[in-house]
Chain A
Amino acid sequence: MDFAVIFVIAVALSFDYVNGFHDAANSIATVVSTRVLTPRIAVVWAAFFNFVAFLVFGTAVASTIANDVVVQSVLSIGVVFAGLIGAIAWDLITFWLGLPTSSSHALVGGIAGAAVAKAGFGVLITEGLRKIGVFIVLSPLIGLAVGMLITLAIYWVFHRNRNIERLNRGFRRGQLVSAAAFSLGHGANDAQKTMGVILALLIASGHLAPGSSTPLWVVLCAHTAIALGTLTGGWRIVKTMGSKITRLQPVGGVAAESGAAITLFATSIGGIPVSTTHTITGGIVGVGAARRLSAVRWGVAGRVVWAWVLTIPGAFAVAWLTMQAVDLLS
Chain B
Amino acid sequence: MDRRAAFFLVAALVSAALIPVSVGFGWVAATVSVVYLVLALGSWLDARSHRRF
Contacts and interface: CB of A to CB of B under 8 A. Distances in A.
A123 interface: no
Interface string B15-37: 10010011111001100100110
B29 A138 contact: yes
Contact of A130 (B4, B15, B21, B28): B21
A77 interface: no
Contacts of B48: none
**A-B pairs with the 10 shortest C-beta distances?**
A293-B4, A134-B22, A145-B35, A293-B3, A134-B18, A141-B11, A141-B32, A130-B21, A142-B32, A138-B32
A145 B28 contact: no
- Report whether over half of chain B's contact residues are helix, strand or loop; otherwise say mixed: helix
A145 B22 contact: no
Contacts of A142: 28, 32
A148 interface: yes
Given A134-B18, A149-B35, 12 more contacts: A130-B23, A131-B24, A131-B25, A134-B22, A137-B18, A138-B28, A141-B15, A142-B28, A142-B32, A145-B36, A270-B25, A272-B25
Interface residues of B, number: 18
B45 interface: no
A292 interface: yes
A289 B47 CA distance: 13
Interface residues of A, number: 19
A126 B40 CA distance: 33
Contacts of B39: 145, 148
Interface in A105-143: 127, 130-131, 133-135, 137-138, 141-142
Interface string A27-63: 0000000000000000000000000000000000000
A284 B32 CA distance: 17
Contacts of A272: 25
- Report whether over half of chain A's contact residues are helix, strand or loop; otherwise say mixed: helix
A138 B4 contact: no
Contact of A134 (B11, B21, B36): B21
A208 to B, nearest CB: 26
Contacts of A270: 25
A167 B29 CA distance: 35
B7 A293 contact: yes
Nearest to B12: A141
Nearest to B11: A141
A137 B18 CA distance: 9
A178 B34 CA distance: 26
Contacts of B21: 130, 133-134
Contacts of B14: 137, 141
Contacts of B4: 289, 292-293
Interface string A261-283: 00000000010100000000000
Contacts of A145: 32, 35-36, 39
Contact of A131 (B3, B7, B23, B35): B23
Nearest to B28: A138
B25 A134 contact: yes
Contacts of B15: 137-138, 141
Contact of B23 (A127, A137, A138, A289): A127
Nearest to B2: A293
A232 B18 CA distance: 39
27 contacts: A127-B23, A130-B21, A130-B23, A131-B22, A131-B23, A131-B24, A131-B25, A134-B21, A134-B22, A135-B25, A137-B14, A137-B18, A138-B15, A138-B18, A138-B29, A141-B11, A141-B15, A141-B36, A142-B32, A145-B35, A145-B36, A145-B39, A148-B39, A272-B25, A289-B7, A292-B4, A293-B7
